[in-house]
Structure 1
């Protein structure tokens, strides 16, 4: 059965998906409505609302040909299932479907979590005052430290991936994906690949690593606490400092010469500084953070590779472009590569 229906949103066959939901998700009462949730550039996410106005969330891969290993719904579902009993805040895992006849791809269903997703500075100012904005940043760092303290074997994800040389494996993986996309090649990405491979520090420990840990992938509650971490599609076992570096790369602040996200929520007055985030993480961790600049350079480079893949999906028609500045996504490839080079050389 095809993945697109004239009577439903892109990526959803309403009849077969509703039937699956009614038989596999306790408490849902048909009919159900599917409403696309905007804001992401990767997987397709929908709010599912039933007759009693109960809400759950469904996620599936984007349409079109996918790169090997990308958009792994089973991995996302396994991660939030494993973390449910821990102190790490995640939505409740409700059900997973690997029958592509239902809607053309695997998908999973999780609970709907009330709260705010701070995609940009405007939303952050509308939702929180300066004191709460400051708390958001500290909670982001504390929650990441909690994730990295999870005993992966006890949580049941000890075999999620190889534990050693995470950064080396990530460099090779993202370069392969960048090379497979290449809608707009940037030679500096190729050059940095070799430099980063040679400069990578020795990994101190293996943790469950999110891979895309930033404020835009979290839900915050009314008090500024992180109430759920979202988007686990590239999580694996590896170097926790890679997550710390990515958190810092995406935490833009006024006057920072090494930031490429001008509309980041953290640009609003009152948010904690990068230094405060790093200090709060360090207070809850026993890791040596002296090599954190390498990890920020690595994550700028990784962001360039990710943006190349996102840009390629838009220009190939695999993602709807309404309301999306596709040219800005393409331009970000070179911006992030230049930032990686600057940090690595400083």
Structure 2
């Protein structure tokens, strides 16, 4: 049975547990029985968690326990992207710090199991706020508090010394920003389906403006509110989605978080935008860009001098990510819903990047 598993419920009726696309439950169970004896107590069932546009995330259960399984997307991907081992190692290394993370349970690099590498982690109870309508009922005061704790959590991550948690060989901080510029140019080239005005110009300006030196630390790679599970007390329960984690310049994390916020405001200003799709940063009470930057500086102790370059690079990076998702959707390599508009804001991001480069000199 590779497509479904059969079990009998209390009344003796046989039910079928379908394997969702990308997750063979038979093979997964066989592997877990060997690698983590006693972990699984019943037949497995799983469902794809909607919302993510990159790695595939599934909720897995044996009827008693619940876990999360993460694997790369289907289809062709960049060699350095969607690195499950990297994601697993980063979160596992931070388990004894004040950065909240889920407990890592098992990592598999045997392609015979699921056709790719993957990992299993504990399921954390928490809310990944994505849209303004999800957080508005909490009120402005709680919304502001949640946004504030998000920034403080980012500063906590950036205060961690990689050597103290065994991540001193996790990446190459030297030359990080220059490699990022080249990487996202390669991503745009590899995802080519249309002409993108401004892409070459932004790349050239970024390549010419790379700082000769920059700070170093642990970089999450995609830090934003819907990549943090907020607990019942409005405090972060776990930072998730570490697929792009590395050692490099932490200011790129802050810049990308702010570019998500800028993009959301530009999109929301369009007359045809459905208010139900407003992103969480549009909710009343959510901290503004100036407040976020001031709080981050105070909490992290890092200077934001020359921050315009980071904002421009963040736009280029997000454009590369979005165009990659669009490419996979066009080539029917995505699973789930919500990909129809993938890449729609790429031209906006390229223009925003050129403008952002002029700021915070």
Distance 2:212 2:98 in 1: 28
Look up the SS of the partner of 2:194 in the other structure. coil
Q: 5+ residue gaps in structure 1?
A: none
Q: Which residue of 2 aligns with 1:50?
A: 62
Q: Which residue of 2 aligns with 1:223?
A: 233
| TM-superposed deviation, 1:216 | 1.6
> What per-residue deviation string (whole Å, max 9, x for no partner) do you get for residues 202-253 of structure 1?
4432101011111121111123222211111111110011111111112249
Using structure 1 for the length normalisation, give the TM-score: 0.92
Q: Which residue of 1 aligns with 2:121?
A: 110
Distance 1:269 1:253 in 2: 17
Q: Which residue of 1 aligns with 2:15?
A: none
Q: Could you tell me which of 321, 324, 333 is aligned with 2:338?
A: 324
Q: Could you tell me which of 297, 306, 311 is aligned with 2:326?
A: 311
Q: Which residue of 1 aligns with 2:354?
A: 341
> What per-residue deviation string (whole Å, max 9, x for no partner) do you get for residues 255-283 of structure 1?
67999997220101111111111111111
2:279 is equivalent to residue 264 of structure 1: yes
2:221 is equivalent to residue 211 of structure 1: yes
Moved more, 192-201 or 181-190: 181-190
8 Å contact kept, 2:72–2:118: yes
Distance 1:221 1:152 in 2: 26
Q: Which residue of 1 aligns with 2:12?
A: none
8 Å contact kept, 1:252–1:259: no
Q: Could you tell me which of 288, 291, 301 is aligned with 1:286?
A: 301
For these two proteins, the number of residue pairs brought into alignment is 340
Change (3 A) 1:156 1:185: farther
Q: Which residue of 2 aligns with 1:74?
A: 85
| TM-superposed deviation, 1:28 | 2.6
Structure 1 stretches of 4+ with a deviation exceeding 6 A read 253-262
Q: Which residue of 1 aligns with 2:144?
A: 134
Distance 2:125 2:262 in 1: 26
Q: Which residue of 1 aligns with 2:13?
A: none
8 Å contact kept, 1:22–1:30: no
Using structure 2 for the length normalisation, give the TM-score: 0.88
| TM-superposed deviation, 1:299 | 0.5
Q: Could you tell me which of 28, 32, 48 is aligned with 2:44?
A: 32
Distance 2:141 2:225 in 1: 17
Distance 2:168 2:100 in 1: 19
8 Å contact kept, 1:259–1:339: no
Distance 1:213 1:102 in 2: 30
Look up the SS of the partner of 2:300 in the other structure. coil
Q: Could you tell me which of 169, 173, 183 is aligned with 1:163?
A: 173
Distance 1:125 1:23 in 2: 46
> What per-residue deviation string (whole Å, max 9, x for no partner) do you get for residues 162-220 of structure 1?
11121111011111121111123313112111101112234432101011111121111
> What per-residue deviation string (whole Å, max 9, x for no partner) do you get for residues 22-54 of structure 1?
3334533121111111110111110011122x1
8 Å contact kept, 1:56–1:109: yes
Q: Which residue of 2 aligns with 1:274?
A: 289
| Structure index of larger Rg | 2
Q: 5+ residue gaps in structure 2?
A: 5-17
Distance 2:310 2:194 in 1: 25
Distance 1:235 1:67 in 2: 15
Superposed CA RMSD in Å reads: 2.3
Look up the SS of the partner of 1:102 in the other structure. helix
Distance 2:320 2:169 in 1: 26
Look up the SS of the partner of 2:345 in the other structure. helix
